[in-house]
Amino acid sequence: MDEFSFSPRFLQELAEWEQTASSKDRAQLDHILAATIQNPTLAGRAPSFYDPIIPSYLYRLGTVLIHFRVTTDQVEFLNLFFRRS
């Protein structure tokens, strides 16, 4: 699957997270987002049980938690959860 989108909320959270993230953290996030787009059935994901009609998943990467769902034609990144200081 090569199509993806970001929810407005994800983009807001990403902008906030990037203010304090290290370059290593940013590179890891880029890598896992790309891996999720290529293979949404990524090992380590867990169902979020948020919407049973369009299931979504959580994936932990270090100190962040990525919330995403897979539709018929794309991966949509919904939220980026992280510890705020």
Structure tokens at 51: 């919407």
| Mean pLDDT of the region 14-25 | 93
pLDDT exceeds 90 at position 72: no
Mean pLDDT of the chain: 91
Q: Which domains does the chain have, with CATH numbers?
A: 4-82 (3.30.2310.20)
Q: Where are the alpha helices (DSSP H) in 1-85?
A: 8-18, 23-38
Neighbours of 65 (CB within 10 A): 16
HSE, side-chain direction, 13 A CA sphere, residue 74: 8
Section 27-36 average pLDDT: 93
Q: What is the pLDDT of residue 1?
A: 63
pLDDT at residue number 54: 86
